[in-house]
Amino acid sequence: MGSTLGSQQVSGQNGIVYAATTEAAGRAAVAAARRLVVKIGSSSLTTTAGGLDRERLQALVGTLAGHVGHDRELVLVSSGAIAAGLAPLRLPRRPTDLASQQAAASVGQGLLLREYAAEFGRHGRTVGQVLLTVDDVTRRVHYRNAYRTLRKLLDLAVVPIVNENDTVATDEIRFGDNDRLAALVAALIHAEALVLLTDVDGLWTGDPAHPASHRIDEVRSGDPLTGVQLGRSGRTGVGTGGMVTKVEAARIATGAGIPVLLSSADLAGAALEAEPVGTLFHPHPSRPSARLHWLAHATTARGRLHLDDGAVAAVVDRRKSLLPAGITGVDGGFSAGDPVDLVDTAGRPVARGLVNYDAVELPPLLGRTTADLATALGPEYEREVVHRDDLVLFTS
Annotated binding-site residue? 234: no
- What's the CA gap between 33 and 44, in Å, rounded? 23
Annotated binding-site residue? 149: no
Q: Which residues contact 158 (CB under 8 A, 6 or more apart)?
A: 126, 127, 128
How far is the first Cα of the chain from the last one, in angstroms, to the nearest whole number? 33
- What's the CA gap between 205 and 219, in Å, rounded? 11
Annotated binding-site residue? 244: yes
Annotated binding-site residue? 166: yes
Q: Which residues contact 261 (CB under 8 A, 6 or more apart)?
A: 27, 30, 193, 194, 195, 196, 271, 278, 279, 280, 281
Neighbours of 46 (CB within 10 A): 28
Annotated binding-site residue? 199: yes
Residue 195, by phi and psi: left (phi above 0), alpha (psi -120 to 50) or beta?
beta
Annotated binding-site residue? 241: yes
Angle ∠(134,136,141) on CA atoms, nearest 5: 135
The burial class, CB within 10 Å (0-12 / 13-18 / 19+), for 174 is middle
Annotated binding-site residue? 124: no
Annotated binding-site residue? 167: no
* E strand spans, the chain: 3-4, 35-40, 73-78, 126-132, 158-164, 193-198, 203-204, 216-219, 229-230, 260-264, 279-281, 303-307, 327-332, 339-343, 349-354, 391-393
Annotated binding-site residue? 300: no
Q: Which residues of 349-388 are buried (b: 16+ CB within 10 A; e: fewer)?
A: bbbbbbbbbebeebeebbebebeebeeeeeeebeebbbee
Annotated binding-site residue? 289: no
Annotated binding-site residue? 39: yes
Binding residues for ATP: 39, 198-199, 240-246
Binding residues: 39, 79, 166, 178, 198-199, 240-246
Binding residues for substrate: 79, 166, 178
